[in-house]
Chain A
Amino acid sequence: SYVLTQPPSVSVAPGKTARITCGGNNIGSKSVHWYQQKPGQAPVLVIYYDSDRPSGIPERFSGSNSGNTATLTISRVEAGDEADYYCQVWDSSSERVFGGGTKLTVL
């Protein structure tokens, strides 16, 4: 089955840019979605179709996808962005596949 690989953790200072990667074989040919999950809360969709933002998600959140890596970029990071982030794709076997998650720490 398809595997998505994320770094376990990323740290960034407030006001800086955080980049969270999601690796997968030829992931650039798939649509990648990203979710934010804060402690004790349900996940929230923050990016879909590689780079689209649902209504209500700040423009500071953006995404890209090419080759074997998709990237979630959070600009001007705020303390409130501290959370776990998960990438997700639809695999040809009709499975929905999640990455292992990345804990974003705001220093």
Chain B
Amino acid sequence: EVQLVESGGGLVKPGGSLRLSCAASGFTFSSYSMNWVRQAPGKGLEWVSSISSSSSYIYYADSVKGRFTISRDNAKNSLYLQMNSLRAEDTAVYYCAREGGSSSLLDWGQGTLVTVSS
């Protein structure tokens, strides 16, 4: 059974930093691209970033480019999102998701809440 478990969310002040983690199990982590997707309270889904299986290809949404950094450790079956210069509009539940063909998101974690507020 595929499991994706996010952690690292919490309350942070504007301008602060936070590092999210996603622990993966139940599949060969090193064979799949992974994504972060967020959802602001009461709003829709917003893609944040993706990373290929070997970290060769990394992409970001314009809204986070230059502030967020995605990375992975295939030896630890883990995905990360380093978030710097956080803003109030970054407040959201952050999901990690396993990617299938044509960028379909096959499996999702339960999410971790990030709140940016003074």
A residues with a Cβ closer than 8 A to B are 1, 31, 33, 35, 37, 41-45, 48-49, 54, 84, 86, 88-90, 94-101
B residues with a Cβ closer than 8 A to A are 35, 37, 44-47, 50, 57, 59, 61-62, 95, 100-111
Residues of chain B with a CB closer than 8 A to A101's CB: 44-45
Let me know if B102 and A49 touch, CB within 8 A.
yes
Known: A42-B111, A96-B35. A31 touches B102 (CB 8 A): yes
Let me know if A97 and B47 touch, CB within 8 A.
yes
Let me know if B44 and A94 touch, CB within 8 A.
no
Rounded to whole angstroms, the CA-CA distance of A1 and B104 in the bound complex is: 19
Residues of chain A with a CB closer than 8 A to B107's CB: 45
Let me know if A90 and B103 touch, CB within 8 A.
yes
Residues of chain B with a CB closer than 8 A to A35's CB: 45, 105
Rounded to whole angstroms, the CA-CA distance of A98 and B95 in the bound complex is: 14
Residues of chain A with a CB closer than 8 A to B104's CB: 31, 33, 45, 48-49, 88
Rounded to whole angstroms, the CA-CA distance of A88 and B50 in the bound complex is: 14
Let me know if B108 and A43 touch, CB within 8 A.
yes
